[in-house]
Amino acid sequence: MTIPIDYTEKVYAGVLGKLIGVYLGRPFEGWTYEMLDERFGEINYYVHEHLDVPLVVTDDDISGTFTFLRALPDYGNADSITPAQVGQTWLNYIIEERTILWWGGMGNSTEHTAYLRLKEGISAPRSGSMALNGQVVSEQIGAQIFIDGWAMVAPGDPELAADLARRAASVAHDGVAIHGAQALAAMEAQAFVETDIHRLIDTGLAVIPKDSLIRALIEQIREWHAVNGPDWRKTREQIADNFGYDKYGGNCHMVPNHALIIHSLLHGDDNFQKTLMIVNTSGWDTDCNSGNVGCLLGIKNGLAGLEDGPDFRGPVSDRLYLPTADGGRAVTDAVTESVHVINVGRALAQEPPYKPKNGSRYHFEFPGSVQGFMPDDSVDSRGTLTLENVAGHSRLGGRSLALHFDGVARGRPARAATHTFIPSKETAEYFEQRGYGLMASPSLCPGQTVIAELEADAGNERAVDAGLYLRRYRARDDQLIVEAGPTQLLEPGERRTFRWTVAGAGNEPVAEIGVAVHGDERTQGTVYLDYLTWEGEPEVTFSRPDAPADLRRMGMAAPQMWRRAWVDGVDSYDFWWPEAFRIVQNRGRGLLMTGTREWADYEVESEVTFHLCKAAGIAARAQGMRRYYAILLCRSAEGRGLARLVRALDGDTVLAEVDFPWDFGDTHTLKLRVTGDRVQGFVNDMNTPLLEAADGKLAGGGIALVVEEGRVMTDEVVVRP
């Protein structure tokens, strides 16, 4: 596979197209054509405000697409990835009943059914097979909605894209559901090098069986399109009459929705807005269909194609959420996820990784990108700033983020920031109520050092004070408060580097990081943000903030955002108990996790009370529910107390163990240290490791409290470099 010269920009356009399509179709998912026609007529732009819902949402179409693709880097970016390994990726990143999937129940939700099969030990592809789950369940739409990533890592190689899509889809699907996914994946992969829609459709047909219903459907829609000409409504009516929901069982079958995708591509005249209008106005599974169409057209037509019409990009500002068991990547952006996709594609092509501006987190190297940065809307700053991605003003790359300020004066700063955690407690509560909770960990923690470069435009009226700031949740009441970082005077044309080691407590999670411009006199001008990133391991203590005892007892008005900084992968993690962390797991093993994949060399320590449990302890380099190192107190088959050093990765591997008598009700101090390939476990004696091993399988990840079939408690968890 050869990487096209415009690969990076086209992946970014594909990711943006996916987001725009999902956000456009999400507010009326499941509506019929008749309902949409009566309420809105043609859907030419976002309608979320008409329905009083947010634009940027948690959604299975987005989280599944960019999460299941992690099977490739997690298993060495080998194009020999197996369905069983993709199934293991499901088990690692999905938290049952809480993340990614529609949890509609066995035999009702295809993905939930497959997840339960996987959990029972039935590997993919049998987990999604028609023989096991029946035709109706196995042929629903999910195979198609999650395929975009598999296509984008195979640019110009439709056969590879179709094969990857088949393997990934077979975790939960079978039959025509896989054929539809293969056809669309092949089309998207070929769209990197082919611009003709009809040739792309031919490419999709070439990778599926000649007797497939999907092939017959596509050929029929092509005939209708040829006869009906520009009358897309006539073709939609014919699809409803011949391939409608009433012809196929289940809640959301592949066939009717695949038909609408082909229909919109044929009638859309190669125009992004018109094609999305047709696929959304046609109804049914609008966010899924619109997301796939948006991705394909984004790849094919590039960024310019997204901008041939209204401003779809501005309201999105690159924002997306990926709530999984890897909480540090939950609050992310289109550029970051594009780089992940790009580097999988480059690895498959045996090319070195793409690391703009030395791998900086926020680098703005893609035209028009803002990476979630938005002007501050607080009273003292509102209206003072606009943002623009511009060429130049970068020491390490080709582009920067321009902060155009006007009306800045004493007490009237211009500020812009991007989120590093859940944007507000109201946001968290809203997403929980709609069934797709935003489980997340802060990506920036105390002890880490933020680094940024700013340049003042040479034409500015006068020097301004510029610097960094953050917002964090105040422990006592969950209010977001501004904390100023270092500032420096920037003369016109001057460039400065800023470094700020973030302080603070673990019970006050950092919600956003940004740039502020101050002036003693009213002024206007521009400051350019070249890049912003951070480095190092955290140095932080996680504990419960002080709150009145009577409120804790009553379960009222107690602060909650410190708890939300932990991704909840246990059966019970409630806030009214006397301990800061009381976790319960009824069956199997549960984890309560925080941190990011970037944490590498550190130690985690906690004093744990083992109330009643089969095994419990602490974990480091946690990358989800089934990838981590842990020190556990457990028992042998004969009932002897043991201390074990474990690597969880496609099952447990015991790296070291010793006899260690312990009993219910005991309290023991545990510490786990990870440095390079050295893993050391301490129990009670914090100076001398009780267990140690060399193992290089997991290079980085967050921390976790671990409990297996029982209850454990602790009041604080300490992480230090």
State the pLDDT confidence band at 576, using cuts at 50, 70 and 90. Answer: confident
Mean pLDDT of 556-569: 89
State the pLDDT confidence band at 121, using cuts at 50, 70 and 90. Answer: very high
Q: Please report, for residues 271, 320, 392, 450, 659, the alpha-carbon distance to residue 423 in angstroms, rounded to integers and kept in the order given.
A: 34, 12, 31, 20, 46
Angle at 380 between CA 379 and CA 382, to 5 degrees: 65
Q: What are phi and psi of 499, to 5 degrees?
A: -130, 135
pLDDT at position 684 is 97
Domains 359-536 and 566-720 share a fold: yes
Report d(CA 644, CA 634) in Å as an integer.
7
218's tokens: 């596509």
Specify burial of residue 589 (Cβ count, 10 A radius: 0-12, 13-18, 19+): buried
Closest C-alpha among 446, 704, 482, 568 to residue 560: 568
Angle at 421 between CA 419 and CA 423, to 5 degrees: 65
Q: Classify each residue of 246-262 as buried b or exposed e, where b means 16 or more C-beta atoms within 10 Å of its C-beta.
A: eebebbbbbbbbbbbbb
Tokens 């190689």 belong to residue: 157
Q: What is the pLDDT of residues 41-58, one digit of tens each?
A: 999 999 999 999 999 999
Sketch the domain layout of the chain as residue ranges: 7-321, 359-536, 566-720
474's tokens: 């105040």
Mean pLDDT of 243-262: 95
Q: What are 20's strand-pairing partners?
A: none
State the pLDDT confidence band at 435, using cuts at 50, 70 and 90. Answer: confident
State the pLDDT confidence band at 436, using cuts at 50, 70 and 90. Answer: confident
What is the CATH architecture assignment of 566-720?
Answer: Sandwich (2.60)
Beta carbons of 161 and 128 less than 8 angstroms apart: no
pLDDT at position 420 is 98
pLDDT at position 126 is 98
Q: What are 466's strand-pairing partners?
A: 488, 517
Percent above pLDDT 90 for the chain: 94
pLDDT at 547 over 80: no
- Which residue has better confidence, 262 or 521? 262
pLDDT at 552 over 60: no
pLDDT at position 554 is 58
Q: What are 468's strand-pairing partners?
A: 515
Closest C-alpha among 353, 354, 373, 376 to residue 362: 373
Mean pLDDT of 536-549: 86
* Fold adopted by 359-536: Jelly Rolls (2.60.120)
Q: Which residues contact 375 (CB under 8 A, 6 or more apart)?
A: 381, 382, 384, 385, 386, 387, 414, 415, 416
State the pLDDT confidence band at 548, using cuts at 50, 70 and 90. Answer: low
Percent above pLDDT 70 for the chain: 98
Report d(CA 579, CA 213) in Å as an integer.
58
State the pLDDT confidence band at 418, using cuts at 50, 70 and 90. Answer: very high
- Which residue has better confidence, 24 or 578? 24
Beta carbons of 436 and 323 less than 8 angstroms apart: yes
Angle at 263 between CA 305 and CA 48, to 5 degrees: 60
Q: Please report, for residues 403, 420, 663, 698, the alpha-carbon distance to residue 58 in angstroms, rounded to integers and kept in the order given.
A: 29, 16, 43, 28
State the pLDDT confidence band at 520, using cuts at 50, 70 and 90. Answer: confident
pTM over 0.85: yes
Q: What secondary structure letter does DSSP report for 127?
A: G
Q: Tell me how crowded residue 491 is: count the other CB atoms within 10 A of its CB.
A: 12
pLDDT at position 550 is 56
Q: What is the pLDDT of residues 201-252, one digit of tens each?
A: 999 999 999 999 999 999 999 999 999 999 999 999 999 999 999 999 899 9
- What average pLDDT does the chain have? 96
What is the CATH architecture assignment of 7-321?
Answer: Orthogonal Bundle (1.10)
640's tokens: 């002897």
Pairing of strands 495-501, 319-321: unpaired
